[in-house]
A = this chain, B = another copy of it.
Amino acid sequence: MNYDMNSSKVNTELSKTGCYEFAADAFHCDFKHKLFLGHLGNHLLNAADFHSSDRGFGMRYLNIVNKTWVLSRLAIEMMEMPKEGETFVVETWVESVMKYFTNRNFRIVSVDGGKVYGYGRSVWALIDIVTRQPNDIMAVNDGEILKWMETDKDCPIEKGARVKIDKSAVRTSAIDTHYSDVDVNGHINSVKYIEHILDLFPLEWYQTRVVERIDIAYVAESYYGDKLHFDVSEDNEQERSIRIAKSSAGSEGEVEVCRAKIRFKMDYQ
């Protein structure tokens, strides 16, 4: 169940930051009894959807006028992952708005607010569903989003830098996309790329490590039936850069879909 912590039932009293409660249920946790990062990622996207929908600039409203939000960048940095049975709150707010992009931040905290699990940063583009071209965000409900900008709330993690892929990157795997990869927008779900990246590492890797930070920049959309190819470069012992390219039946060559950087830290729990 999700709720707006600071909201009454009257829409005009919504606060700038939306707060949504989630739980690390057993069957959303990995073999170390910690929430799967992919599950957390989808919770962030869902929180973004609740926040924008409640405030007049959400996906379902936008779809009516042939527009949608597309995730352009996502960074998640975790001090600690929620453990099996723990309940946590995802806070989300709009940090800034430009013509074609908006910056949305996240803070993941315990229900009593006493423990911060981590933070997220994201960049979203508004596009036309048919042409897939960027649209002017200010034109949505007369710039409704500007009313909700929260410039005082801190998100103390670094902004994502451009991911450089070394020439030494090695093609490690290729996977087919399936029904389960496709989301409500009809393309491969943004978080599925993260899950596929995590699956590049053997189970033993996670026995002593946990993801500290992941940065992902979405370059092009991929669709059902595309094959995804993964090039991985080892930046240092705990960091990898990954390029995902797609190949499509009927088209020659490959198109870059996204670039990611993942940083692990030691974790023996």
Contact residues in B for A22 (Cβ distance below 8 Å): 1
A25 near B: Cβ within 8 Å?
yes
Is B1 a contact of A27 with CB atoms below 8 Å? no
Q: Would you call A143 an interface residue if the criterion is a C-beta within 8 Å of the partner chain's C-beta atoms?
A: no
Q: Which of A28-36, A100-108, A243-251, A257-265 contacts B (4 or more CB under 8 A)?
A: A28-36
- Which among A29, A50, A183 has the greatest number of chain B C-beta atoms within 10 A? A183
**Are the CB atoms of A29 and B184 closer together than 8 Å?**
yes
A45 within 8 A of B: yes
Q: Does A59 contact B (CB under 8 A)?
A: yes
Residue of B whose beta carbon sits closest to that of A201: B179
Interface members, chain A 196-217 (any B CB < 8 Å): 198-199, 201-203, 205-206
Q: What 1/0 flags go to A121-153 for Cβ under 8 Å of B? A: 000000000000000000000000000000000
Instruction: Give the number of chain A interface residues (Cβ < 8 Å).
Output: 44
Q: Is A80 an interface residue (CB 8 A)?
A: no
Give A182 Cβ to nearest chain B Cβ, in Å.
5
Q: Does A195 contact B (CB under 8 A)?
A: yes
The reply to whether B180 and A38 form a contact with Cβ atoms under 8 Å apart is: yes
- Check A30/B182 contact, CB under 8 A, given A1-B1, A225-B203: yes
For A29, the chain B residues whose CB sits under 8 A away are: 183-184
A99 at the interface (CB under 8 A from B): no
Residues of B contacting A23 in the complex (Cβ-Cβ under 8 angstroms): 1-2
Q: Is A70 an interface residue (CB 8 A)?
A: no
**Contact yes or no, B27 A191, CB < 8 A:** yes
Among A21, A26, A201, A205: residue with most chain B CB under 10 A: A26
Please determine whether A1 and B31 come into contact, CB atoms closer than 8 angstroms: no
A49 interface residue per 8 A CB criterion:
yes
1/0 per position for A13-51, CB-CB distance to B under 8 A?
Answer: 000000001110111111101001010001001100110
Q: Which of A60-93 contact B (CB under 8 A)?
A: 60, 84-85, 87
Task: Check if A178 is an interface residue, CB within 8 A of chain B.
Answer: yes
With a cutoff of 8 Å between Cβ atoms, the chain B residues found around residue A202 in the complex are 179, 224-225
A198 B180 Cβ-Cβ under 8 A: yes
A184 and B42 in contact (CB under 8 A), knowing A2-B23, A26-B49? no
8 CB contacts below 8 A, A to B, read A1-B22, A1-B87, A25-B42, A26-B45, A31-B183, A31-B184, A36-B180, A38-B180
